Amino acid sequence: MAKTVIIEAHGGPEVLKLTDREVGEPGPGQIRIRHHAVGLNFIDCYQRSGAYKMSLPHALGMEAAGVVEAVGEGVTHLKAGDRAAYAANPPGAYSEARVMPAATVCPLPDGISFEDAASVMLQGLTVNYLFRRTTPIAKGDTVLLHAAAGGVGLIGCQWAKSDRIRLIGTAGSDEKCRMAEDAGAEVCVNYRTEDFVARVKELTGDKGVPVVMDSVGKDTFDGSLQCLSPLGFMILFGAASGPVPPFDIQRLAAGGSLKLTRPTVFTHLADFDSCQTMAKELFDKMLSGDVKASIGQTFALEEVAEAHRALEARETTGSTILTL
């Protein structure tokens, strides 16, 4: 048996329920993993609230790190006793232990703690596909990254600095801007006190940037398009402020043959080789010191509702984890 957080109805943090569930043995292509730390992400809140519909009842949680207890037939990249981490579907990481598909679970080097791994898997692999797998970004290029002091943002600032990419960030306070700049942003704009479009134009000699990475959505979308240079690439990878309303696609032509994509990390992780390669690249960045985990908040598994409230109230910085 393992303590597991489930929802039986969509709603606020109060619907999160801690229960005991039987774990069982892994079948072909599966592993059983005992968690030491679990990461929290906005997608968990979307699934809990019903913004992303799920069949109910259902466990929650998309990323964790721990020790493999058993492997099923056909699993060759992991064995019992291995340290491992993952960001993966289906949800179920808010638990002491679980049986799950093995393909998206990755060997974890000894030099990375369970806590750090659990705090960076989903966000770090997201940063990987943003900088390595969506559109070519070369050393010396300039990118605009919104929410630069969040979990993805702080990793993105470090990643960009280590790859010698000029990063302009935005954040909602002077304190958060300092955090982004300390992490590697060349400059971070407080969008509550400054017009980020005007500031980006000023910083780029009125040229704009070739790439915008936007996880905020509705509140920043129009400004993000205005920040792009001709032939620029808009990567819309989240909607923290709400979904972008329908818009006239001719605006992309008027802006200078702009490009727009709405990717998800799980599309990239669905391929075994891609998933394992992305994780190795992330772990190499961490082992070299180029990327450091930033855990702002830690909660016990039993405090998961409180953790969700803090996340949704924007009271968190960096990553949030549950410990077991």
User: Taking 90 as the threshold, does the pLDDT of residue 7 lie above it?
Assistant: yes
Question: Which DSSP category does 310 fall into?
Answer: H
Q: What is the mean pLDDT of the chain?
A: 96
Tens digit of pLDDT for each residue in 209-234?
999 999 999 999 999 999 999 999 99
What is the three-class DSSP state of 119?
A: helix
| Whole-number percent of the chain with pLDDT over 90 | 91
Distance CA 157, CA 175 (A): 15
Do residues 146 and 224 lie in contact, with contact meaning Cβ atoms separated by under 8 Å?
A: yes
Do residues 80 and 70 lie in contact, with contact meaning Cβ atoms separated by under 8 Å?
A: yes
What mean pLDDT comes out for the span 68-87? 98
How many residues are given for the chain?
324
Distance CA 128, CA 56 (A): 32
Q: Which residues of 81-109 are buried (b: 16+ CB within 10 A; e: fewer)?
A: ebbbbbbbeebbbbbbbbbbbbbbbbbbe
User: Taking 80 as the threshold, does the pLDDT of residue 34 lie above it?
Assistant: yes
pLDDT band, residue 71 (cuts 50/70/90): very high
> What six digits make up the tokens of 313?
């109230």
What mean pLDDT comes out for the span 259-281? 97
pLDDT value for 102: 98
Strand 30-40 to 319-323 pairing = antiparallel
Model confidence pTM above 0.85: yes
pLDDT value for 242: 87
What mean pLDDT comes out for the span 68-93? 97
Give the chain's domains with CATH numbers.
2-122+266-323 (3.90.180.10), 135-262 (3.40.50.720)
What residue type is assigned to position 96 of the chain? E
Tens digit of pLDDT for each residue in 42-56?
899 989 999 888 999
Contacts of 67 (CB under 8 A, 6+ apart): 33, 34, 36, 81, 82, 83, 84
Within 13 Å, how many C-alpha atoms sit on residue 175's CB side?
A: 4
- Using N-to-C axis directions, what is the helix angle for 151-162 and 114-132, rounded to 10°? 60
pLDDT value for 240: 83
User: Taking 90 as the threshold, does the pLDDT of residue 296 lie above it?
Assistant: no
| Whole-number percent of the chain with pLDDT over 70 | 100
Four-residue CA torsion sign, 78, 79, 83, 89: positive
Distance CA 20, CA 48 (A): 19
pLDDT value for 180: 96
Distance CA 166, CA 214 (A): 16
pLDDT value for 278: 98
* Of 46, 33, 35, the residue nearest 79 (C-alpha): 33
pLDDT band, residue 150 (cuts 50/70/90): confident
What mean pLDDT comes out for the span 149-176? 95
Question: Which DSSP category does 271 fall into?
Answer: S
What is the three-class DSSP state of 115?
A: helix
User: Taking 80 as the threshold, does the pLDDT of residue 317 lie above it?
Assistant: no
User: Taking 90 as the threshold, does the pLDDT of residue 168 lie above it?
Assistant: yes
Look-up of token digits 């968990």: 44
Distance CA 218, CA 20 (A): 39
pLDDT value for 78: 98
pLDDT value for 256: 97
What is the three-class DSSP state of 306?
A: helix
Distance CA 306, CA 13 (A): 7
Poorest-pLDDT segment among 85-89, 192-196, 311-315? 311-315
Distance CA 256, CA 290 (A): 35
Distance CA 252, CA 234 (A): 10
